[in-house]
Amino acid sequence: MGRVKIQMRKIVDRQQRNIAFAKRKSGLLKKAYELFVLCNVQMVLIFFSPSGKLFLFDTKTRMEETIKKYVDVPIRPRPRENFDDGILLQTRSKEIEDEIFKCKAELAKVEQQLGYFLKHPNQWGTRDDIEYQEKILEETLDKVRSRKKCLEAQNEAFDASNCLLQTDVEISPSG
């Protein structure tokens, strides 16, 4: 009799989730041990149960040594063709298009507010008019600076996540 394919989604019932974790944990540890014995690979498995209990598996080398070796590996980006990457890029592209639309709308609003300066640069009116226009300019400048910082932070975060998606880690066998 064949096995039934399980849908990959969170198990809602806590007791069933704990049972599934216990069974799959032992299977994962067995596979890790087999990989270690058959292929003589260094590995560390660190995971937490649904209740928060820590589980560790490491090979004959100390866990700290294996983690240090992983941290010391140089990161070399390479192009990858992956379905998930495509979805991520499409989603990010849509977010950027939405952001451009919002920025264009805000730009139109700012241009309308600054229309006085654009149409009549040499006509100032009263002192109150000048102070009001100065206030609008300062608020607009603050918005632009804030938006610039936000976009720079988003760009850095996107670059970092994109780098992680395109990272190829090679570990040379110890010898």
pTM of the model: 0.39
Q: Which of 16-20, 55-59, 99-103, 162-166 has the lowest mean pLDDT?
A: 162-166
Q: Using pLDDT thresholds of 50, 70 and 90, give the confidence band for residue 143.
A: confident
Q: Which of 59-63, 84-88, 97-101, 162-166 has the largest mean confidence?
A: 97-101
CA atoms of 158 and 139, how far apart (whole Å): 28
Going by C-alpha positions, the residue among 137, 102, 139, 138 that lies closest to residue 116 is 137
- pLDDT of 118 reads 62
CA atoms of 128 and 66, how far apart (whole Å): 69
The answer to whether residues 32 and 43 touch, using CB atoms and an 8 Å cutoff, is: yes
Q: Residue 173 pLDDT > 50, yes or no?
A: no
Mean pLDDT score of the chain: 75
pLDDT one-digit tens code per residue, 150-167: 887 777 776 666 555 554
- pLDDT of 170 reads 42
- pLDDT of 6 reads 78
HSE-up of residue 20 (Cα within 13 Å, Cβ side): 12
Going by C-alpha positions, the residue among 18, 56, 63 that lies closest to residue 42 is 63
Mean pLDDT for 39-55 is 84
- Residue that is written with structure tokens 């730009």 in the block: 107
Backbone angles phi, psi at 74, to 5 degrees: -70, 145
Residue type, 43: M
CA atoms of 148 and 159, how far apart (whole Å): 16
Q: Residue 171 pLDDT > 70, yes or no?
A: no
